[in-house]
Structure 1
Amino acid sequence: MDKLFLSGTFKNFIKPRLFVNDCTVFRLHYGVTALVLCACSILVSATQFYGDPITCIQSDDVPEKVLNTYCWVEGTFTLPRALGLEVGREVVYPGVDKRREGDQVVYHAYYQWVCFVLLFQSMLFYLPRLTWRCWEAGRLKNLLQELNCPIMAHCEKKKRCDHLVKYFRNNMRHHSSYCYKYLLCEVMNLANVIAQIYFVDYFLGGEFTTYGLRVLHFATNAQEQRIDPMVRVFPRLTKCTFHRYGPSGDVMKYDSLCLLPLNIVNEKIYIVLWFWFIILAVITAISLLYKIVLLSSKTVRYMTLHSMSRLSPKDQLRTIIRKTTYGDWFILFLLSKNMEVLNFKDFLQDLFKEFKSPLINNDNNETSSI
């Protein structure tokens, strides 16, 4: 067991990250949402496979275990026309009534797949992260050269800053593909969360897109005028029809009431997911709009760089922004999030001095400053 939890893969997953190569909104997708979905899948699995997810009222001589297994595998049903009837006088539970000819019937079998769907959703939320890691290929880690360490000998820090400045000067205006790949992963995040809203809506029979709004409406209405939407989507009491051969060989029909305690967990999970998906989609869209503004405005890039390095003189920052592209700025942004504050200030100061000096080409000939 120790080898399992201390293995390289699991250890790499739980250990603190020494550097970041993305933004906070990006981490909300793979670091928060994917983890929450995975935890919900484990919770539902524990209830489903190691508890009693369904309990049906035994009919005559039908074995209880057989009836429970059959109704769990084949699914149960409710009647939409019985959702608004008075409990205790007209029906025993919302949606549970005697089935009549021509009645609309809603079958419930999705609860068998909830744990697998949640795990699949978790993998989809982590996919853009895997894509970005593949494209990023450790470039930022190589650029840092341990400059994120606050304690370093001055001569060693100076040497590494010089290497970083030389790299940045020689590769200016060549970081566009790097930052555009990151932006593409951000677009993947937005597309994924929107697609997952409609995917869950399809999975729950068209009930998810308005689920949260109906729950809020239910909570604010008068008690005698409201119908619980969570009972509609995740009924806790349903009906199941079991057929078997009788002693004379005739087909016998048994109607059984089935209790679904698992849906108490499901309804809470999906109401939280509804609100979180909406919030996450809005935050991601705002983040993308902000990056579009950064892409088109050097003034905004200057203001952002100034907020990241308040110790640097403003004229140095203006010069750096004027001579760099958005791709170069993106590298500076990532460096600022990882480098120690004083190290980043020294790096910007050396970069400013480098911009003021002539650029040396590969033939050791001086060329004009950019």
Structure 2
Amino acid sequence: TYCWIHTTFSIENAWKKTVGHEVPYPGVDKATNEEKRVYHAYYQWVCFVLFFQAAFFYIPRYLWKAYEGGLIAKLTGNLNTPLGSDTNRIKLLTKYLKVYENRHDHLYYFYSFMEILNLVNVLVQMMIMNRFLGGEFTSYGWDVLNFTEWDWSVRYDPMIKVFPRLTKCTFHRYGSSGDVQKHDAMCILPINILNEKIYVILWFWFYMVAIISTITIIYRLTTLLFRSVRVSRTKAHCS
């Protein structure tokens, strides 16, 4: 419990040592002053970070819904269903668009801004996650994919490196004579079995969202700059 609360650490040079011969577990070895330690404190904050990430992903949608106020739903109604595609509603919508032509440009620009905000949001979150996990998130998913192709002599699970299940901990306590003694212990982190899977999924999800958002913004800029593209896309949707 003490180790879990006050963070644990791994020995960097012990990651590639042979388990069972040189070390008992990847990242666990004799701790000396010369050995570089990698401290793990993130696991205490994972649930909070995931909550705030979900909240920030929802912000662009909330802003858009609050800004347009349900206008799009009122205009289209049930026109996307066979039963709702009646001639009168289509005529009313056509008349409305003619009367209020160029009066809703602000909706288009705001929607485009929300798409840009989506991309900025996911990129910033990826940078934050990379810092949160000690610089390991950027290549985390790629390392997991390439895991089976690594040389068996130096092979170690990249998920265990980022989310170790067994770490070291140093604490002090009074000995039998009343002197302060230093104890070197090992700490089991079973929660990391779940964390490693969550962040593999997040890695692929973040990159997929970033790619789709980038393509969407390029498409949006194309329709904004080239009138012929706008006309052709409108005809395609109406046909």
Give the TM-score of the pair, scaled to structure 1.
0.61
- C-alpha separation between the residues in 2 aligned to 1:162 and 1:213? 53
* Aligned residue number for residue 107 of structure 2: 178
* Aligned residue number for residue 138 of structure 2: 209
Structure 2, unmatched stretches of 5+, are none
Aligned pairs, number: 239
Query: Does structure 1 residue 142 correspond to structure 2 residue 71?
Result: no
* Aligned residue number for residue 38 of structure 2: 106
TM-aligned CA deviation for residue 249 of structure 1: 1.8
* Aligned residue number for residue 165 of structure 2: 236
Query: Does structure 1 residue 92 correspond to structure 2 residue 16?
Result: no
- Which residue of 147, 172, 195 corresponds with 2:124? 195
Bigger radius of gyration, 1 or 2? 1
- C-alpha separation between the residues in 2 aligned to 1:306 and 1:136? 24
Residues 10-49 of structure 1 aligned to structure 2 (within 5 Å): none
Query: Does structure 1 residue 289 correspond to structure 2 residue 221?
Result: no
Name the aligned partner's letter for residue 135 of structure 1: Y
Which 10-residue stretch deviates more, 130-139 or 160-169?
A: 160-169
Encode CA deviations 1:30-78: one digit per residue, 9 max, x unaligned: xxxxxxxxxxxxxxxxxxxxxxxxxxxxxxxxxxxxxxx2111111111
* Aligned residue number for residue 347 of structure 1: none
* Aligned residue number for residue 269 of structure 1: 198
Does structure 1 conserve the Cα–Cα contact (< 8 Å) formed by 2:17 and 2:154?
A: no
Residues 342-357 of structure 1 aligned to structure 2 (within 5 Å): none
TM-aligned CA deviation for residue 149 of structure 1: 5.3
Name the aligned partner's letter for residue 193 of structure 1: V
Structure 1, unmatched stretches of 5+, are 1-68, 311-370
Which 10-residue stretch deviates more, 138-147 or 78-87?
A: 138-147
* Aligned residue number for residue 219 of structure 1: 148
CA RMSD in angstroms, aligned pairs only: 1.8
Encode CA deviations 1:257-288: one digit per residue, 9 max, x unaligned: 22212111111111221122112111110111
TM-aligned CA deviation for residue 106 of structure 1: 1.1
Residues 327-338 of structure 1 aligned to structure 2 (within 5 Å): none
Name the aligned partner's letter for residue 165 of structure 1: T
| CA gap 1:86/1:148 in 2 versus in 1, 3 angstroms | closer
Give the TM-score of the pair, scaled to structure 2.
0.93
* Aligned residue number for residue 127 of structure 1: 59
| CA gap 1:241/1:172 in 2 versus in 1, 3 angstroms | same
Which 10-residue stretch deviates more, 213-222 or 230-239?
A: 213-222
Does structure 1 conserve the Cα–Cα contact (< 8 Å) formed by 2:126 and 2:206?
A: yes
- Aligned-residue identity in percent: 48
- Which residue of 74, 77, 83 corresponds with 1:151? 83
